[in-house]
Structure 1
């Protein structure tokens, strides 16, 4: 597949000064948010899009808190957030809202995905290695709780995994429990 790459632009933010670049893979446009100076072994967060959490502040998940945690850490230490356009574990916004409705009826996040005909997690991470290679990065310190992300990066040396520690709330406690107990997240 052909990957189109944008120019680099400045992105001043409340978390610090960043640069941004987009990697277009088919119809998906992934965003890389990075510091001016990137260490030889940078701190990296691979973050999947969550419109309800990232933009609206949903309390049903921990996505926005994880993204902000990563941006703050990377702003201080140097590195990048690779923001993947994989809404709702890559089932899309429409299906994510349908899954939310099923969760409102008592299903957990995995049961809801299965009820809609999807796998537990439909995301893929092949583009991440392409992006890291584009930046000349061969080794990283990965900010993640998700073992699937670590397993998928087969051509990158993960020299350190740093947990993303976020407080739960009454709206996402069950969601986090499911991620830990059924998906193996290291929470």
Structure 2
């Protein structure tokens, strides 16, 4: 269930608790989290979906007692969107779980967090939502057939993230093409096409070889960059192999796309997790693919290049929620043999 935070009432909280049965969360924008001094729940998010939990909160005073009653939780939710709320008015930890949404909504990250923000904005409310995952009475997760019955029972609308992505894709864009030139590489001549991200002014690019129609499968690699990794190979040899293997495969086939997303320009620390020992660095959770479910920019670049069917080069295949909304389909997954990763 999703509701606009501006419209929350104790009755809606009670409905979510009784019929949703999951954890009640409040997606808000990063700027609002900063205003309220809401830090991330953990520094290193290793959850499967990288759900962006901040520290949990309760409203202090204002008639609140334990924080768990539906009345207290409704007041806490209202306080999160009230511009007059001060950081010191929120007790931590608490019974309401804010989620820090990515700027750009579902076009940036196809998660329920961003979907709640987008729906609230489209309805004319503040960019803040309330959501709860739905479980069946036996405690199992409700799937689409169950959700359809629940929607019919309570006369509620049902919408998919794909629907929301498709709607926003028809009405707005997060990238614009700013340059197009040819470059010679050891793998052949590529078109170097530059893009500017309109929400942040970050610049990304694509290396393109050959041509295709939207119905033709195209080799695609979406690479999440790291300046030190890609230039001097200080951290992960796998990154270098993935990058070079993608360009080599594209060159051999004669057409394909390598999309390069500048991760460091998102403000991530350049020297994070670089504690080297004997020439290697620590950390085993690195994934050189574009961040989990944070691929909307890459998807818009691919659509600008008229890619429809993808032969995706990755060692980390995963089902991409919302991909259909971009009219992109993975027809094949091509893995790079990790045995070939050289030792640095």
Would the TM-score normalized by the shorter structure come out above 0.5? yes
Partners of 1:9 and 1:20 within 8 A in 2: yes
- Under a length normalisation based on structure 2, what TM-score does the superposition of the two structures give? 0.40
Q: In structure 2, what is the equivalent of residue 136 of structure 1?
A: 306
Match of 1:99 among 263, 273, 277: 273
Deviation string 1:109-154 (CA, Å, 9 cap, x unpaired) is 44x9xxxxxxxx6771001221121122211100001235x52561
CA distance in 2, matches of 1:98, 1:59: 11
Aligned to 1:146, what secondary structure does the other structure show? coil
| Kept in 1: contact 2:192–2:208 (CA 8 A) | yes
> What CA distance in whole angstroms lies between the structure 2 residues aligned with 1:61 and 1:100?
14
* Counterparts in 2 of 1:145 and 1:23: CA distance versus 1, 3 Å: same
Look up the match of 2:182.
10
State whether structure 2 residue 241 is matched by structure 1 residue 46.
Answer: no
The answer for unaligned runs of 5 or more in structure 1 is 113-120, 172-187
Identify the match of residue 154 of structure 1 among 315, 319, 323.
323
CA contact (8 A) 1:22 1:29 kept: yes
Deviation, structure 1 residue 99? 1.4
1:56 to 229, 232, 235: 232
Give how far 1:107 is off: 6.0
Aligned: 1:72 with 2:248 = yes
Counterparts of 1:128 and 1:22, CA distance in 2: 12
1:48 and 1:87 in contact (8 A); partners too:
no
Q: Secondary structure at the residue paired with 2:307?
A: coil
> CA 1:152 to 1:61, structure 2 compared with 1: closer, same or farther past 3 Å?
farther
User: Does the CA-based 8 Å contact 1:31-1:83 persist in structure 2?
Assistant: yes
TM-superposed CA distance for 1:170, in Å, is: 5.3
Q: CA shift at 1:82, angstroms?
A: 0.4
Highest relative contact order (Cα 8 Å, sep 6+), 1 or 2? 1
1:93: Cα distance to partner? 3.9
Check conservation: 1:125, 1:153, Cα contact below 8 A. no
Match of 1:20 among 192, 215, 230: 192
Matches of 2:219 and 2:185, distance apart in 1: 18
Runs of 4+ in 1 over 6 A off after TM superposition: none
> Using the alignment, how far apart are the partners of 2:205 and 2:195 within structure 1?
6
CA RMSD of aligned residues (A): 2.8
Task: Report SS of the residue matched to 1:62.
Answer: helix
In structure 2, relative to structure 1, the CA distance for the partners of 1:168 and 1:3 (3 Å cut) is closer
Deviations 1:38-92 (A, max 9, x none): 462110001111222211133634111111110011012110100111149x662
Q: Structure 1 residues 139 and 123 mapped into 2: Cα distance closer, same or farther (>3 Å)? A: closer
Summarize the alignment of residues 71-90 of structure 1 with structure 2, pairs less than 5 Å apart: 71-77=247-253, 78-87=255-264
